[in-house]
Structure 1
């Protein structure tokens, strides 16, 4: 008989495989993010004198996705360019949250918007190289991120951290088809996903997304800013159009 996801989580906690943290240890919540998955809050963790992020999910039906994400995070979070996963907690309503490292300089996109004019090429190259190290580590562990973009890379003390493994998959768990084109930010999605609705994303898909991130790091702009419609952008990309290379970038 199949194990109910929440029962699996409770057993993993009781067996000591996943660190459980008491919810009352976290104080001073401030909402810092909101998406289809739920919300992210910044909290003070008094015991460790740390600021952390709690990723809270909206509905009970997401517990399977929650478990998938924490399994992947637990496998790779010790890499310096992947967000740290401290454990899980449960509020008074019985809702689980992940306790994650808080990135004090926001997303890569925000960081570039604020700091781009001050960044030298050596800084941009360092950021790009460290993101590449983090992505290589995921791929070496047979994990496909599938939603890599500048809002899913956080900056903590100038160091990039790959985050948000909500739709990530292990290679040996991926179905023959993924219908993954409906997820993610269109500008960063491999074009084949638009052309073939059941195209299976793989490591090459992450590399394509990484290429757009490199363009963003070199330009200081998000790709395809002038497109408001997802449909028109998808057509534009499928026609072979790409962003123009930045001058003096070899």
Structure 2
């Protein structure tokens, strides 16, 4: 018997749904009980709830009184990320029209990113809405993309924030820096597999990330299994549809991770994401951030545009197949770079059959110091 995609019909609005009543009707009362201060933010939150077909693929307005800040996790170019406790916790299901949303996981641990200015918040929240809406239409929130829950506002400090899933090991760059002695090749390949699949899920919907670097990849719980999701793409502030990319907004990102054609005036593209992925491959394989020993200035930009790439530290100890794939990713000719799905298939194959990686399983490298003018947080110029 063929299983229906949406087995129920809401008794109020006749909307096809997986739960009764549908999310739109169950959230009706809540639509009128919040005000973010920006009408288009209100509209995006309400629209995400109207589009939602599951109890986990929409955005909410989360009152700051529902959050308890626990500690600072990270500081970037656009704001500060905190670990927090969400008192109500995650939405679970609807019990009746107009009633409050049932919650699960009370005192749920989340991450909250507060922004220095409203403009950056509005841009990132709009990008998150695009992703949530697109995948709500597909009836499945993508794996290997950070899960976003909604927005909040700290009235005391007058900063907007975005509430998202908390990952125990924070960013990939921090993980490589602090836990380098525990990271072996099987795990490195699993991380790269997850990142490439996250990129594939975006690219398959004609979305680009637009700001991919080691600080924007979150690392979750490591349990030693090659089947578990480890890495998740975050910071979607520059995520947009490829056909809508404009070149008059300036260049944004971390210089060593930006594709050379971007410096030459070309718009961001899926192939530019692949170049950035190649630099993540370099960071993971060598435990050296690309161009860590140099100032990130116009001189470096010009040299990258003219073909300069990082020197591969201890190249003879890295399997040739890996080095070759990495160099394909950072090829100056964007047409020669592989697709995200090709990368995903390759890492899957190496995890399962990669004999080349067995002999170097215990080869780990201590991270090096950074040049005082090396900047690994996103900038716009």
1:95-129 residue CA offsets vs partner (Å, 9 max, x unmatched): 53211011110211111123333322211111111
- TM-score, normalization by structure 2: 0.58
Using the alignment, how far apart are the partners of 2:282 and 2:248 within structure 1? 27
- TM-score, normalization by structure 1: 0.86
Please give the residue correspondences for 1:1-250 in structure 2 after superposition, counting only pairs within 5 Å: 6-14=38-46, 16-17=49-50, 18-47=59-88, 48-62=106-120, 64-74=122-132, 75=134, 78-92=141-155, 95-158=159-222, 159-175=230-246, 177-178=247-248, 180=250, 182-194=251-263, 196=264, 198-245=265-312, 246-247=315-316, 248-249=318-319, 250=321
CA 1:114–1:230: 2 relative to 1, 3 Å: same
Paired residues in the alignment total 242
How big is the shift at 1:186?
A: 0.5
Root-mean-square deviation (CA, aligned residues, Å) is 2.3
Using the alignment, how far apart are the partners of 1:116 and 1:29 within structure 2? 26
How big is the shift at 1:229?
A: 3.6
How big is the shift at 1:85?
A: 0.5
Using the alignment, how far apart are the partners of 1:117 and 1:145 within structure 2? 30
Give unmatched runs, 5+ long, in structure 2: 1-36, 51-58, 89-105, 223-229, 322-381
Larger radius of gyration: 2
Using the alignment, how far apart are the partners of 1:190 and 1:167 within structure 2? 15
In structure 1, the partner of 2:338 is none
Using the alignment, how far apart are the partners of 1:218 and 1:122 within structure 2? 11
Using the alignment, how far apart are the partners of 2:309 and 2:181 within structure 1? 24
Give unmatched runs, 5+ long, in structure 1: none
1:121-152 residue CA offsets vs partner (Å, 9 max, x unmatched): 21111111111000111111211111100001
